[in-house]
Every structure is written in structure tokens, then in C-alpha cells.
Amino acid sequence: MDSECSRLLPALCAVLADPRQPVTDDTCLEKLLDWFKTVAEAESSLLLLQENPCLVELLSHTLKSQDMSARVLSFSLRLAGIFAAQENCFQYLQQGELMLGLFGEAGPVGLPAWSVPSVRSGWIQGLCSLAQHPSAEQFLVDCGAVDTLFSLQGDSSLFVASAASQLLAQALSLSLQGRDTPQLGSQDSDWPSCARSIVGHLEEALRSRATPQVTQALKVLTTTFGRCHHPWTQALWMQLSPLVTCLLEKDPIPAAHSVADLFLTMARSPVFASSDCDLWVMLVRTLSRLSPTQAGPLALGVCKLHVCPLALRTQAFDVLLQPMACILEAAAQPPGPSDLLDGTRGSSSMADTLLASTSSCAGLLCQSLAHLGELQPLSHSPRPWPQAPLLEATLATLRFCNGSAVPLSSVGVRLCGILAGCVRVQRAALDFLAALSQGTGSPDLVMKVSAVLLEYLRSPDSSPMVLKKAFQATLQWLLTTSQAGGSCDPSPHSQPFIGELFPVMQKRLCSPCWEVRDSALEFLTHLTAHWGGQPGFRQALLASDAPELAKQLLRDPEGYVRASAVAAMGQLAARGLHASSAHPEQPGAQQKHLLPELMDILSSDSEGFPRRAVMQVFTAWLRDGHAEVAQDPERFMAGVFQVVGQDLDWEVRLQGLELAGVFLAQVLGPPACPYAAAPPTAAPSVQLAEVLRALGRVRVLEFAFHTLFDCDRPVARKSCDLLLLLRARTAPDSRLQGAGRCPDTAAVEATLQAWQEGKQGQPLGELGPEVVVAVLWMLDLEGLQATLAESSDHVEQSPQSLLQDMLATAAALDDHEADCY
Amino acid sequence: MLDCGLDMTSTLNFLPLPLVQSPRLSNLPGWSLKDGNAFLDKELKECSGHVFVDSVPEFCLPETELIDLSTVDVILISNYHCMMALPYITEHTGFTGTVYATEPTVQIGRLLMEELVNFIERVPKAQSASLWKNKDIQRLLPSPLKDAVEVSTWRRCYTMQEVNSALSKIQLVGYSQKIELFGAVQVTPLSSGYALGSSNWIIQSHYEKVSYVSGSSLLTTHPQPMDQASLKNSDVLILTGLTQIPTANPDGMVGEFCSNLALTVRNGGNVLVPCYPSGVIYDLLECLYQYIDSAGLSNVPFYFISPVANSSLEFSQIFAEWLCHNKQTKVYLPEPPFPHAELIQTNKLKHYPSIHGDFSNDFRQPCVVFTGHPSLRFGDVVHFMELWGKSSLNTVIFTEPDFSYLEALAPYQPLAMKCIYCPIDTRLNFIQVSKLLKEVQPLHVVCPEQYTQPPPTQSHRMDLMIDCQPPAMSYRRAEVLALPFKRRYEKIEIMPELADSLVPMEIKPGISLATVSAVLHTKDNKHILQPPPRPSQPTSGKKRKRVSDDIPDCKAVKPLLSGAIPVEQFVQTLEKHGFSDIKVEDTAKGHIVLLQEAETLIQIEEDSTHIICDNDEMLRVRLRDLVLKFLQKF
């Protein structure tokens, strides 16, 4: 701890101990604790306490004071825990009876403040911090903390209850640490007293008929097995497994989610995975006993296990497939459903759950679709991924939801009624349909997918979110089918599909709902990005009104839509596709008008998103050598930077620097290869001077210097990086460096100084090449870069600042008190 | 009588009435029978394979055969669409009762009728076809004419005079107003959320409640929201007027409407929207108000053409108390509740009584025209169909769900213009009905048969039918249905002086009884208990009493008994009083106490006790007194 902090600490402790000066800001105390934790990790806590007796005084005062605020009491308990984490410091505090006073039965447990949840939480966190060494183990038993923790497991505050369970798990681990499994026999006397007490409590809770108590016990076990992979955990399980087995006998299984969590945690532990314990048998049993909704997460967990018996993995996989199998069966048309479950049909309990109500049906299907979506990319599937039946089932689900299914079975008819118009399921199914595009599909199935997606894209009933998902799924499928064909072109099967997409897209671009217009524009942008160069696509696009409609949306009242329209038009223009259908042969005729229109948006749009989008388009255009920009890049850049320099949106300025970077790279040429055998050759000085002049003309330099002192740190950092890059390229040229401290340089330096001080209005002087190089070398860019790399509030975050702030706040409160007189 | 709507789908069988001479329609070939007989060719014309009646359109009236409408006392009107047959009933059936409706219903209903009369009357047609209605001839006609029902009852449109006379019989009511009908029942209109002034009705007596739910909406559109709470505790809920297009979500349809409108206009085409002059048009105009700027349609003119366009737009702005909360608050700002006022001010929306006159000077294309009639058989819409039908750039967008758009378009075939079907029906769909019924929990639901089964074209859609417990009672055309409740109680008022004289006796905690001797006076279905007249003085002469004096004599009233006879104690008492040889037998209903010696039976049952002894009145009275000891008297 530095001396300044040591100096401030007594005053702060006095403030904290003074009940007349209540600490109103919890975050200060949290920051203070973080700082003490850092200090305690770095140096000896004992030394810290000895050098700063005010800290022990504060803790002692906590014990004595009756009117200590709950905040400070909680803080003191947590602080004591942090210090007592080191055994010698624990003993030091113990000598003064401080520990027992703070955490024993005579401590806050009996005070009225105990009713405040933050005090109970502080008490637990203090104990959590200190429960690190053997002395602590005994202390937990002696001070009666374990018994208190048992009762706190059922605390009304969920945070307190959860922390109590975690501390019990920690205490159990602490107690059994370092003991060999053979030492832990089945006799109670073989176990250390702390562990004996906790295990006894767990046994009692597991026998209880009250589900909350069973849940609490299972949580402690889950935490224990999750954190600790020592062999003694196996002995613990041997002792408790009969009770857990009993739970599985009950109908329904109490605390089913907690049982599933426990088994999954155990299955992930090497202790149980490699042993011949009954875990796998119990998992098999549990999977078959849980309701479909409860079994889903457990089955997913099992499928994700790296080590797991194949039979169990297969069973879990089947559990996840069951709802889809049911759907497939319900939607089956002669000659019967496709085979999803290796011959087995959807279970009756599954059908019951699906048919019980809309909410249970939607819940189960959404869960199943999400789980299968997570499972698809995993490689260790127990069986070949049932791509085709799953596709069929997903399509059937989507048809049930939009009412286009014509089921023959009674279950299907009822599902039709239950799922009609269910947006939740539609979203989940479309997500999964998009995920399924990663697999293959027969041409027939792909046609079916296209048909259903078109139904959704056309339907007036598709909600904006469903429509967005439908667009995403469509794009994924188009990509997959084109990749499957081995080329970038849309596959021959997709060509008619794309042809049908344009009328839909046109209509969606005219939707009164802005989210729909936005999604349609995004879709158009993606389509163009992928297939803008393909003749078939170009023909279909140019024959439609989509480019014209997208252009119209540059003036949309909604900022997000304008931004998407900018991106879409940028992409269309990059491909020479932004001409209207009336002039497909003369794209250039309209091309001229887009740049001024985008410039107009950049300079006058009231919202940031469209302006950012314009900058992104410009950057892409410059990078790709778009014709309009390539004709006269300097004029283009000058126009852009005249506007961007004034922009109030930091992301627009940041994007401006990105554009400047691209321009810089283009005018400077490719950098020398760092691995080249020969030393880098400098650009000829004449050429470099010309480059610097050009940068000055297009206002890039002025913009870069200006943003170097930008109030938004990311902008300043980017600018710094850009100038460092420029400086590196000027380094070898000694002739240009010769400007030294000429009067022009001094003027520029003065201006930069003024800018740094916040006087932004001052103009930058003449920026000749020599002056630029001189200024670049004169500025401490590395130092600035290091400063900017720090978090923006690193000064305010220093402990010294924190202590001063807290003291100042207390003083201000004093002042207010004085004012009262 | 609950509502009196007019079935206008009958007009679809007729040729359109063009405003200006249409060579195409005049030159349609006459229809002849298969055997070449052309005697009907003056009455029936053929157009693209369909046969139409070339005559003034006729309407199908409500059922008049089942009951004598002159005996109807009251007609309750739900909304302005459900009163279009009123002149036929009030003016031609001998109806002398009262019609109840809210003010907006009457005013807008008048506009609808006025528009209808105007549409028909301004294109007088000399020809009136009736030959085809002959049953023997009708059989020979192609569908749908062959299948048309009750064609002989179809009537021409009423006149304005009849409209005015019919409307004069309407009594205006306000929401939640209780109207007493002959003392028998009370009727109350409640907001149904569907249209300006639209109502559901509660018909209730003191102990029974029937709700009539017709044309209701739970969507947030312009009218006051539906009052659901007042429908609770109904014995019977009669449910009708659900959405005609249960698969079409109004929000999606409005989106579809806007998109298609924008696409057409952008391509230089015109949009025709056949519509009624009130109702959904207000919401469409509001939606377009928000949409036209974003869609770049600010310069496209919107025309609303109807003989009542001006009145409709203005009426909508003055019925503030009948509007939804948002619109009501605007009135206090003060701002017009509907934004179409601003559209009119900024010249974006222009309205005209007809295509003649100012409209022809202002007409500019491309444009959007809202006009009637949605059946496409009369009104200005006929002109626009003829004008724009040949170009594929133009679009007709159907928003009213009352008519099949394919049938409406039939006499215009072949048609090049695009047709979009966006039915916007804000009335309850089956999901909303099911929620409503769960909320309101009526004991019984009565509804048309069509609502109790999925639509014939989507027989697997079990969600498109009413699902409630107990299952809804359904009815079909001309079926007589007994509502599933009986009137078991009547409320009787007790006059204060009579009530004063009562001496209640508590027989159980909280339950007191008193005997009442009074005269029940019943008049206009009200029952009043009045004190009995004082005992009449003995008449001196032998003059016969007048009938009016013939009131019942008040005899000495025997006390009423209550309680149960404990058999064991009763037997002990009998023994104490000297009866011996007593035998008790248990029966299904109670006990029989047998006094063998006295040859007497005492039958003790739950609600009666009989003493059976032969000609020994003394014994009977003795036994009776012993029985009475165990009972309470009051």
C-alpha cells in the first residue's frame, strides 16, 4: 500500500466508524473492498494490519457499536474475511477475539441488523474469503457458523441462500481436502467433524419430503462436485447415492432440475467418469423418468459430454429428437412418417405434453429446436445426424404454425389448432431451419424448404421478427445450395426461387412496418454481396423494382431503415446494379446521383446510423476502387473529410479514420515486408512529399491531428495508430525531417497544444511536408498511445482517488450539517 | 328482434349499374337455354361464362315467414351494418314497435342507406326482370342463379322516404343505459368495440341474464373498447357477428394493403379501393396518413367518392364520446380525433359526392380512389372498374369482407388490372372468442351452426371453431330453439306497511321466516304484495256482492310448523301418555309408529306426518298435540 493511501486510511476508517456519517454509496465500499483484496493478494495482510492499526480499530468498533449501519457492518465482515484468508493474519485477529466476535453467535447474527440481507450476505462472503486454511475449518465449526449456514440455505433472499449453499460446499471441500478416500469409511467417525456435520445435514435434507430442502442439498452437492475433483468426492457420493436413488423412485421426482444439474456436474468430473460408480445407470433411469420438458436440458448435457457410454448418449439423443418425431408422426401423409428415431415412434407422454396447451407445446418445441440447434455442430453424435427427417419435421412445424398443414391424424389436427400463429415456435423453427442448411438435403427437400420459406416471406401474417428469421434462413439455404454446387453461383434449382424472391422483397420494401423494410434491405444487401456478379441474379434484380425501392428508402423516416438502405445501395452500386429497371443498359446514368445523395446523408442526416453506414460504404468503395471514387479520389476524400470533421458521432469519426487509413495505404503503397532480407527502402522523398501534400489537400492530416485529442478514446487511439503508421513510413527520409523547429512547425505545435487543452476552434497552420514530418516526430505518439491504452478512468479509479472521494463526500455531508445551523 | 341486417350478396347475381353508358355491358349477349330457347335473353346476360340478371339489383330480406313481424315489440340494433333492412320491416310488415340503437349507429346507418338509395336511384333502369324467378325456370338456370334461395322474396331498394320513416321509429340510447321493456326485462347496450356506436346487448330480468354479442372487436381501432366485464354472469350468451375471414389477421392485411398500394402507384398505376363510406376506411386513412411520407407517396392524390363522403368524414370527428380513449383525449387538446382532417387540409385527401362535377376537373393520375359499393354492382366504383380494368398497371384492392371478390369481379372479366384481396375484418376471431368466453363464463353459449365446425374448405382447422364447455348450442336458418333456462323466480315488492307488520322468527342462524298474509297485485309484469283488506263487515242485506268486492276472506291462519320429530323421544312421550304396545318400523322415507292396541298408525316422513286412525277424532287430536310438541310453530 502506498504511503499516501496509508495516510488517508485512518481518516477514512474514522468516517466509516462514525454512524453520523452514513455511507450512501455502496459502490465506493465495493471498490474499497476490491482494492483491499488486491493489496492483500500482493502483500502480507498481517503486516498491513500492523502498519495500519486503524483497520483493526474499525473492525473492533464494528463489534462494539450498536448503531453501525448495515452497509458498513457488511463491509467490515467482508473486509475481515479478506484479511483472515491468510492464516497468520487469521490467528492475529483471532487473538483479539475479533473473529469470534464478528462471525460467532455473539456477533451480528443476534443483532437487529441481521434482518438486513446485505449483512447476512456480508457475513457469508466474509466466511467464504477466510475459509482457505485448516484453522478456518475448525473455526467454522467452533463459531457455530455451519449451523447458521444450514438455516440460511432457506433464506428469503435468493442471493443469501445461494451464497450459503456455496459456502457449505466450500467448507466441505476445506474439511476433506488432502484426505485419502480410504480414510473416509462409511463410519461417521471417519469423517472430520465439520464434514460430518455438513454431510449429516445433507442426508437429512435428502430424506426430507419438502422439495426446497432437497433442492438445497442437491445444490450443495452440485457445487461440491463441480469445484472439486478429488478422490474423496467419490466417497462422499458413495455415502449419499442411496438417498439420491430414493429420490429417483418418487413420482414425480422432486427437484428434478437440480437432480439433472447434479448428474451432469458429476458426469463432467473425471472422478466419476472413469469410475464404475452407478452414475451412468442413474442417468439412464433419470432420462426415462423425467417429463419431456425436464429431460431436455439433461439430454443436451449428456450429448455434450466428451466421455459417456454410447447407449446413454443414444438415449439422450432420442430424448431430444422425441418432440420432432411426434411432429413428424402427426404430420405424416401416406405411406407414413419418415424415420427419425430408428423405428421408435414419439412417446405418448410426449404427445400428451404437446397437446396439453399452447404454452406447454410451444415451450417444449422451442426447447427441442434450440437444443437440436446446439447439437448439430457437435461431432460426437451417437448416430448419423438425421438431416432429412429433421428437415421434414421442422417444415411440418412451420406448416402447423402458419395453418398450411393438412394433417390426417387426430394429433396433427389438434396440433394445427394449438400451434396456429404461434410466433415463438415459428422463430425457433426458422432458426433451426437455418442451422440445418449446414447439412445436405435432397433436391426434393430443398424444394420443400424453398416453398415453406416463400410461404412465410409472402404471408401477411408473418410478424416482423418471423420475417427477419425467414430472410436469414433463406439466405443460409441459398448459400448452402450454391456451395454444394461447387460454385459461387446460385444452384440451378435456386434460380427460379430467386426469381420468386424479388416480388416478395419488393412488397416487403414497401411495408408500413419499418422493421420489415429494414430486414428486406438487409436481405437485399446480402444477396447482392454474394451473387451480385452472377448474370442470372443480375438479370432478375434489374428486372425488378428493388433497386429503385431501395433508393427511395434512403429518405425513409426511420433512421435504421435509412442506414440499411445506404448499405444496400452501396452494395448495389459496387456491383453496378443500382440502375432502375427502366435503364438496365445504362447503369452509369444513375450512378452519378448516388454519391451526392450519400454525401447529403452524411452531412445532413440527423441520426448517427445512416451517417455511419455512409462512411462504411465509402470505405468499401475506396478499398474496392469503385468507379465513382476511383475517378478522382482526392476530390472524394476532401469532400468527405470536410463533413466528417464536424460530425458529432464518434463512430462516424472513427469510420473516417478507417477511410483515412485505406486512403493512406493506397497512396503510400504496400508496406515493406518485415521479413525481407534487405532493409526497407524508403519511398523517394519527392514521392513522399507529394503524398504528404495530398494528405494535406484532402484534409486527412488535419482530421487525424484533430482526432488525436478526441474526447472519445477509441477515436483518439485510432488516430494515434494512423499517425504512427504514417510516421513509420517517413522515418527513413532524413531530408524531410530537416525542418526542425521552423516557425510553421511552432505554429502547428501551438495549435495542437491548444486542441489538447480543448480549444478546438483554432485553425491548423500550413501543413507542408516538412512540417508534417517534424510534427509527427515531435509528438510523443508512443506515450499518447500508452496513455490511451489505459482505461479512460484509470486516474479516477486509483485507490488514492477513491479514498479522497469518500473523504470529500463525508466532508460535504459535514458542511451540509453545518448549514443546518 | 335482434338486429335486422340486409343480405346484399343477392346483388352479385345482377349486372353492374354503370354511371355512364358502357358499350361493353350493353353489348353482352343474352343467355339462352341449352335447347336454344332464348325467351330469357332480355333478362339474363352472359359474361365470360357467368350469367347475370339484367335488372335493378334486388336484396334478400330477413326471414318473414317464421313469425308475424307485426307482433314484434322491440328491435335491438347492434351496429350500422345490422340495420340495413329496417325500412323493409318497419314500413311493410305492420310493425308498430320500437327500435333501439345508439346515436352514431343511427347517423352512420342513415348515411349507408342514403348512399345505397342514391347509388340505385341515380341510374334508373327501366327494365325489371321477374321471369327468371319462376321456380320452374330457375331450376334450368346455371349456378349460382339456380341455387339462389327465396328469390321470390327479393326486393328492390327502398326509397329515402321509407328510410326517413324507418329511422323516425328509432329511440336513441347510450352505453350502459337501462331500458325497461314492459316491466318484463331490462335491456342495456354495451360498447362492442367494432364500430362507432356499435353495441352488444344485455337482456335481463331480476334472476336471468341473456347477453347478445354481435359484431365485437378487441383490437385497438377507433371505437370505444369492448365492455367485457358487463357480460359476466350470463345464463345465455348469444354469439354472432364473428370475423368472416378468421385466417386473415387485420394487422397483416393492413400491411399488405399499404405495400400493394405503394407498389402500384410507384409503377404509375392507380389503386381502386371498393369500400363502405364509414368504418374501416377511417383506420385505413389513419394508417396511410402515417405511411405515405415513408413510402414517398406524398404527392399522390387520395380521392374519397361517395354521396355521403363529406358527412361521413365530418360525423366521425364529432362522436368523441364514442371513440377510443386516445382519440377522446385529442378532443380536449383540441385536435380532430382522426388524422384524415389533416389529410384534407393538406389537400392529400379530397372527397367528392360523385365522379361528376368537381372531381372531373381535379382528377389526376396516378391516384388512389376509395369509393363504393364493395359489391361492384352499383356506385362510382363501377365507373372506375370500367375505366381502369383494361390496364395491368392498375390495382383493385378489396378490403371489405362481405363479398366474395371473385364473384364481385365476375361481370368485369376479362380483366387486366391486378386484384388484391386484403379483407380487413376486425371482429372477433376464434382465439379471441375463446378468451372472451373464459373470461365471461356464460352458462350456455348459443351461436350459428357455422361457428361450431371448421370451415368446409379447411376441415382440419379445429382452431377455427368455437371451443367451449359446455359445447355451444347451435342454430340454423329458420330453426326454433328453446333457450336452456327457465324463469323460476319473480321478484315481488312488499309494501312498507305490510313489511312493518311482519314478525320474522329466526329458525336458523341467519335465516328468519315470517308468515305473510297479503294480496298479490300484478300489473305490467310487476308484482306487489299489499296489506290484506280489513275483514269485511257483515252485510246487512242479502244483496249480492259485486265482483270487485269479491276479495278472499281472511280466515284464522294456522301456524306453520318446522322441525323434525325424534322418534325415540316421541315413543317415550307416547308411553308416558299411556299408550302401550308401541312398535316402530323404518321405511324408506322415515318411520311408522304403530299403536297396536289403538289400531292406529303414525307415519313420520321428512315433510309430512300422518295419523291414521279409524273414526276416533279424540285420539287423533290427542296424538296430533303430542306430535306438535316436537315442532316449532310460527
By C-alpha distance, which of A423, A430, A429, A295 is closest to A359?
A423
- CB contact under 8 Å between A558 and B294, yes or no, is yes
By C-alpha distance, which of A413, A428, A425, A473 is closest to A446?
A473
Element (DSSP H or E) covering residue A352: helix A348-356
Whether the CB of B434 is below 8 Å from some CB of chain A: the reply is no
Q: Using 50, 70 and 90 to split pLDDT, how confident is the model at A696?
A: confident
Residue A792 in this model has a pLDDT that exceeds 70 = no
CA distance B593 to B600: 8
Residue B253 in this model has a pLDDT that exceeds 60 = yes
User: Would you say A134 and A140 are in contact if contact means Cβ atoms under 8 Å apart?
Assistant: no
User: 3-state DSSP helix/strand/coil percent for chain B, to nearest 5?
Assistant: 30, 20, 50
Chain segment B567-592, per-residue pLDDT in tens: 999 999 998 988 888 899 998 888 99
Please name the residue that has the C-alpha cell 451464497: A163
CA distance B439 to B431: 12
- Nearest residue on chain B to A407, judged by CA atoms? B460
Which phi-psi region, left, alpha or beta, contains residue B268 (left: φ > 0; alpha: ψ -120 to 50)?
left
Report the residue from B256, B287, B294 with minimal CB separation from A557: B294
Best to test chain A binding among B249, B259, B261, B283 (most A CBs inside 10 Å): B259
| Count of other CB atoms within 10 angstroms of residue B331 | 15
pLDDT (0 to 100) of residue A493: 67
pLDDT (0 to 100) of residue A395: 95
Q: Label the pairing between strands B185-191 and B199-204.
A: antiparallel
pLDDT (0 to 100) of residue A339: 65
Inter-helix orientation angle A193-207/A232-249, to 10°: 10
Which phi-psi region, left, alpha or beta, contains residue A137 (left: φ > 0; alpha: ψ -120 to 50)?
alpha
Best to test chain B binding among A410, A415, A465, A510 (most B CBs inside 10 Å): A510
**A-chain residues near B253 (CB < 8 A):** 460
Whether the CB of A413 is below 8 Å from some CB of chain B: the reply is yes
Residue B294 in this model has a pLDDT that exceeds 80 = no
Question: Does residue A8 or residue A334 have the better pLDDT?
Answer: A8
User: Distances from the Cα of B470 to the Cαs of B204, B444, B446, B463, in angstroms?
Assistant: 21, 7, 11, 17
> For residue A450, what is its C-alpha cell?
424453398
- CB contact under 8 Å between B461 and A510, yes or no, is no
Whether the CB of A510 is below 8 Å from some CB of chain B: the reply is yes
Please name the residue that has the C-alpha cell 449456514: A149
Q: Label the pairing between strands B473-475 and B444-448.
A: parallel
Residue B58 in this model has a pLDDT that exceeds 90 = yes
> For residue B364, what is its C-alpha cell?
389526376
Nearest CA distance, A420 vs chain B (angstrom): 8
pLDDT (0 to 100) of residue A591: 47
Report the residue from B252, B460, B462 with minimal CB separation from A406: B460
Whether the CB of B421 is below 8 Å from some CB of chain A: the reply is no
By C-alpha distance, which of B402, B399, B454, B448 is closest to B430?
B454
In this structure, is the dihedral angle defined by the CA atoms of residues A194, A197, A200 and A206, taken in order, positive or negative? negative
**B-chain residues near A510 (CB < 8 A):** 258-260, 262-263, 266, 295
**A-chain residues near B255 (CB < 8 A):** 460, 511-513, 516
Whether the CB of A291 is below 8 Å from some CB of chain B: the reply is no
Chain segment B429-450, per-residue pLDDT in tens: 999 999 999 999 999 999 999 9
For the ranges A378-382, A526-530, A690-694, the lowest mean pLDDT is seen at A378-382
> For residue B515, what is its C-alpha cell?
308468515
CA distance A475 to A457: 12
pLDDT (0 to 100) of residue A344: 52
User: Distances from the Cα of A82 to the Cαs of A32, A44, A70, A224, in angstroms?
Assistant: 12, 11, 18, 22
Residue A240 in this model has a pLDDT that exceeds 70 = yes
Residue A589 in this model has a pLDDT that exceeds 80 = no
CA distance B124 to A30: 89
For residue B132, the one-letter residue type is W
Report the residue from B258, B460, B462 with minimal CB separation from A512: B258
User: 3-state DSSP helix/strand/coil percent for chain A, to nearest 5?
Assistant: 75, 0, 25
Whether the CB of A508 is below 8 Å from some CB of chain B: the reply is yes
pLDDT (0 to 100) of residue A590: 46
Question: Does residue A662 or residue A94 have the better pLDDT?
Answer: A662
| Count of other CB atoms within 10 angstroms of residue A402 | 20
Report the residue from B247, B258, B262 with minimal CB separation from A403: B247
Chain segment A630-643, per-residue pLDDT in tens: 888 889 999 999 89
> Would you tell me which residues 243-262 of chain B have a C-beta closer than 8 angstroms to some C-beta of chain A?
247-249, 252-256, 258-260, 262
Nearest CA distance, A817 vs chain B (angstrom): 48
Chain centre distance of CA A220: 28
Chain segment A72-82, per-residue pLDDT in tens: 889 999 999 99
pLDDT (0 to 100) of residue A233: 83
User: Would you say A224 and A236 are in contact if contact means Cβ atoms under 8 Å apart?
Assistant: yes
- CB contact under 8 Å between B252 and A461, yes or no, is yes
Q: Using 50, 70 and 90 to split pLDDT, how confident is the model at B472?
A: very high
Residue A92 in this model has a pLDDT that exceeds 70 = yes
Segment B521-538 mean pLDDT = 84
Segment A797-810 mean pLDDT = 78
> Would you tell me which residues 293-322 of chain A have a C-beta closer than 8 angstroms to some C-beta of chain B?
none
- Nearest residue on chain A to B421, judged by CA atoms? A460
Does the ipTM surpass 0.85? no
Q: Using 50, 70 and 90 to split pLDDT, how confident is the model at A819?
A: very low
**B-chain residues near A418 (CB < 8 A):** 463
Top mean pLDDT of A10-24, A703-717, B389-403 is at B389-403
Residue A565 in this model has a pLDDT that exceeds 60 = yes
Q: What percent of chain B has pLDDT over 70?
A: 96
Q: Label the pairing between strands B511-513 and B590-595.
A: unpaired
CA distance B395 to B267: 11
Whether the CB of A420 is below 8 Å from some CB of chain B: the reply is yes
**B-chain residues near A403 (CB < 8 A):** 247, 458, 461
User: Distances from the Cα of B200 to the Cαs of B82, B204, B225, B238, B326, in angstroms?
Assistant: 12, 13, 12, 10, 22
- Nearest residue on chain A to B261, judged by CA atoms? A510
> For residue B539, what is its C-alpha cell?
252485510
> For residue B149, what is its C-alpha cell?
334461395
CA distance B419 to B412: 12
- Nearest residue on chain A to B294, judged by CA atoms? A556
Q: Label the pairing between strands B526-530 and B492-494.
A: parallel
pLDDT (0 to 100) of residue B542: 53
In this structure, is the dihedral angle defined by the CA atoms of residues A191, A194, A197 and A201, taken in order, positive or negative? negative
> Would you tell me which residues 260-279 of chain B have a C-beta closer than 8 angstroms to some C-beta of chain A?
260, 262-263, 266-267
Strands (E), B153-250: 170-173, 179-181, 185-191, 199-204, 209-214, 236-240
Q: Using 50, 70 and 90 to split pLDDT, how confident is the model at A536?
A: confident
Segment A43-67 mean pLDDT = 86
Nearest CA distance, B459 vs chain A (angstrom): 9
- CB contact under 8 Å between A510 and B267, yes or no, is no
CA distance A367 to A387: 18
Chain segment A350-395, per-residue pLDDT in tens: 777 778 788 889 999 999 999 999 988 777 777 888 889 999 999 9
**Can you name the residues that pair with B204 across neighbouring β-strands?**
B186, B209
Please name the residue that has the C-alpha cell 387485420: B250
Segment A413-427 mean pLDDT = 91
**Mean pLDDT, chain A, whole residue set:** 84
> For residue A753, what is its C-alpha cell?
497544444
Q: Using 50, 70 and 90 to split pLDDT, how confident is the model at A12?
A: confident
- CB contact under 8 Å between B266 and A421, yes or no, is no
Whether the CB of A511 is below 8 Å from some CB of chain B: the reply is yes
Report the residue from B248, B259, B460 with minimal CB separation from A507: B259
Q: Using 50, 70 and 90 to split pLDDT, how confident is the model at A63?
A: confident
Question: Cβ neighbours of residue A668 under 8 Å, at least 6 residues apart?
Answer: A683, A691, A726, A729
> For residue A82, what is its C-alpha cell?
479478506
**A-chain residues near B463 (CB < 8 A):** 416-418, 420
- CB contact under 8 Å between A511 and B255, yes or no, is yes
User: Would you say A15 and A810 are in contact if contact means Cβ atoms under 8 Å apart?
Assistant: yes
Chain segment A480-516, per-residue pLDDT in tens: 887 766 556 666 667 788 889 999 999 999 999 999 9
Segment A299-319 mean pLDDT = 89
pLDDT (0 to 100) of residue B615: 80
Coil, helix or strand at residue B529: strand
Top mean pLDDT of A405-419, A559-573, A655-669, A737-751 is at A559-573
CA distance B422 to B260: 10
Residue spans of the domains in chain A: they are 291-422, 437-592
- CB contact under 8 Å between B295 and A513, yes or no, is no
CA distance A312 to A282: 10
- CB contact under 8 Å between A552 and B296, yes or no, is yes
Residue A667 in this model has a pLDDT that exceeds 80 = yes
User: Would you say A774 and A741 are in contact if contact means Cβ atoms under 8 Å apart?
Assistant: yes
User: Would you say B277 and B389 are in contact if contact means Cβ atoms under 8 Å apart?
Assistant: no
CA distance A56 to A48: 10
Whether the CB of A516 is below 8 Å from some CB of chain B: the reply is yes
Best to test chain A binding among B393, B463, B468 (most A CBs inside 10 Å): B463
Chain segment B215-231, per-residue pLDDT in tens: 999 998 899 999 999 99
Report the residue from A414, A460, A510 with minimal CB separation from B262: A510
- CB contact under 8 Å between B258 and A510, yes or no, is yes
CA distance B320 to B333: 12
pLDDT (0 to 100) of residue B334: 83
Whether the CB of A507 is below 8 Å from some CB of chain B: the reply is yes
Strands (E), B126-230: 170-173, 179-181, 185-191, 199-204, 209-214
Residue B608 in this model has a pLDDT that exceeds 70 = yes
Top mean pLDDT of A124-133, A331-340, A490-499 is at A124-133
Exposed/middle/buried for residue A425 (C-beta within 10 Å: 0-12, 13-18, 19+): buried
- CB contact under 8 Å between A507 and B263, yes or no, is yes
Whether the CB of A558 is below 8 Å from some CB of chain B: the reply is yes
Residue A182 in this model has a pLDDT that exceeds 50 = yes
Residue A11 in this model has a pLDDT that exceeds 60 = yes
The DSSP secondary-structure symbol of B552 reads P
Nearest CA distance, B398 vs chain A (angstrom): 15
Exposed/middle/buried for residue A305 (C-beta within 10 Å: 0-12, 13-18, 19+): middle
Please name the residue that has the C-alpha cell 482526432: A707
pLDDT (0 to 100) of residue A582: 46
pLDDT (0 to 100) of residue A271: 82
Please provide the DSSP assignment of A651-672 as one string.
Answer: HHHHHHHHHHHHHHHHHH-SPP
Segment A758-762 mean pLDDT = 70
Chain segment B305-314, per-residue pLDDT in tens: 999 999 999 9
Segment B586-612 mean pLDDT = 88
User: Would you say A143 and A103 are in contact if contact means Cβ atoms under 8 Å apart?
Assistant: yes
Nearest CA distance, B251 vs chain A (angstrom): 8
pLDDT (0 to 100) of residue B555: 58
| Count of other CB atoms within 10 angstroms of residue B365 | 14
Segment B393-400 mean pLDDT = 96
- CB contact under 8 Å between B293 and A512, yes or no, is no
pLDDT (0 to 100) of residue B255: 92
| Count of other CB atoms within 10 angstroms of residue A676 | 9
User: Would you say B237 and B445 are in contact if contact means Cβ atoms under 8 Å apart?
Assistant: yes
Report the residue from B252, B266, B293 with minimal CB separation from A460: B252
Whether the CB of B345 is below 8 Å from some CB of chain A: the reply is no
For domain A437-592, give the CATH superfamily. Leucine-rich Repeat Variant (1.25.10.10)
Question: Cβ neighbours of residue B414 under 8 Å, at least 6 residues apart?
Answer: B48
- CB contact under 8 Å between A460 and B422, yes or no, is yes
Q: Using 50, 70 and 90 to split pLDDT, how confident is the model at A581?
A: very low
pLDDT (0 to 100) of residue B377: 96
pLDDT (0 to 100) of residue A818: 45
Residue A587 in this model has a pLDDT that exceeds 50 = no
Q: Chains A and B: how many Cβ contacts under 8 Å?
A: 75
